[in-house]
Amino acid sequence: MLSDQEPQPAEGLSSVPPPPPPLPEWGSAAEAVFHWNQRNWRQEQLEQELSAAREELAAVQALLEELPQIFERKFQSRLQPILGEQERLLQENSALRQQLLQLQPQTRAQQPVLPPVPEARGLRSTLRRVLPWSGRGGQAA
């Protein structure tokens, strides 16, 4: 064999890998600092996420507190034209009754009997008449 060549293992035997180089003495300290920095960075990231989630929760809670007023305003804005239409129809009814009384020939002893003028019956009855549902299971009125 030549001296500048590495010795070959015997036939049928595998070569053993050389041992790893020794770790420098500062390796474990550097690893500890690296892991501490990673944990610290992750903790800061989680704290930021928690802060953002708390802000979002506060915004949602504020919206939930405003929700009843939002629905009330929406309801009033939709109800206003209906109530105006009801008032207009009552006035028109009253005017038509006056015209009917004026057109009918009558004597003092003979007064025509007209059905009473309907008054504003309240919100629930108005809504039942105007809206397509009765409020009982969503069935049409």
Domain boundaries, the chain: 27-103
Low-confidence residues of the chain, pLDDT below 70?
1-14, 22-27, 106-141
123-130 helix and 27-103 helix, angle to the nearest 10 degrees: 90
The residue type of 79 is: L
The residue type of 1 is: M
Q: Please state, rounded to an integer, the average pLDDT across all residues of the chain.
A: 77
Rounded distance, CA 119 to CA 86, Å?
10
**Which pLDDT score is estimated for 122?**
63
Taking only the tens place, the pLDDT of each residue in 34-62 is 788 888 999 999 999 999 999 999 999 99
DSSP string, the chain: --TTSPPPPPTTPPPPPPPPPPPPTTHHHHHHHHHHHHHHHHHHHHHHHHHHHHHHHHHHHHHHHHHHHHHHHHHHHHHHHHHHHHHHHHHHHHHHHHHHHHHS---SS-----PPPPPP--HHHHHHHHSS--SSTT---
User: Do 126 and 86 contact (CB within 8 A), yes or no?
Assistant: yes
Please tell me the pTM assigned to this model.
0.38
